[in-house]
Amino acid sequence: MRVVSGSARGTVLETIEGLDTRPTTDRVKEAVFSMIQTHIYGSSCLDLFSGSGALGIELLSRGADFAVFVESGAKPAKIIQKNLERTQLVEKSKLILGDVYGKIKALKGEKYDIIIMDPPYLSGHVKKTLMLIEQCDLLSESGIIVVEHEISDDEAQKHGTSFECYKSKKYGKIGISVYRRSL
């Protein structure tokens, strides 16, 4: 896995061994970032369920000002830290280790222009996370939320929040949905 574009382009990132995480493929990453490119430059970002940190690192590499990474596992958090050091993006980031839901609550009222997440598939995380983002008022007025999910995950479309899905794409079994505040 590598950084696709920007200041850290081509940098090979460490990944987590085992089946607990599924790194986003370069093809899907390129598609995601072409969908949201106009939102990235100068943005403040929140990467939830960060895994190896690849999505947040890609945001920083492409011109985001700052990214907060939230990861519950100690092993993946160490990998994120290594990847941030490898890409020389440590100073533009903050790594938070702990329960994602508890950490979202702790961030209440902070505003992010881009919230990106790749939660475990088909586990109820999409709906729960979107609801918590709304309750904690984390999305800036013109911000977006990008969710990588299993295409059969109905929660990605029926989540019970005021966010509307305004872009979505399918890549094999993977779906990418982009949300914003309802107009």
Domains of the chain listed by start with CATH number: 26-181 (3.40.50.150)
Q: Phi and psi for 83 in degrees, rounded to 5?
A: -65, -35
CB 42 within 8 A of CB 29: no
pLDDT tens digits along 98-123: 999 999 999 999 999 999 999 887 67
**What is the dihedral sign for C-alpha 126, 2, 53, 139?**
negative
Average model confidence (pLDDT) for the chain? Answer: 90
Q: What angle do CA 170, 174, 179 make, to 5 degrees?
A: 70
pLDDT tens digits along 113-165: 999 999 887 678 898 999 999 999 999 999 999 999 888 777 666 666 789 99
What pTM, to 2 d.p., does this model score? 0.92
Output b/e per residue, 24-43; b: 16+ Cβ within 10 A. Answer: beeebbebbbebbeebbeeb
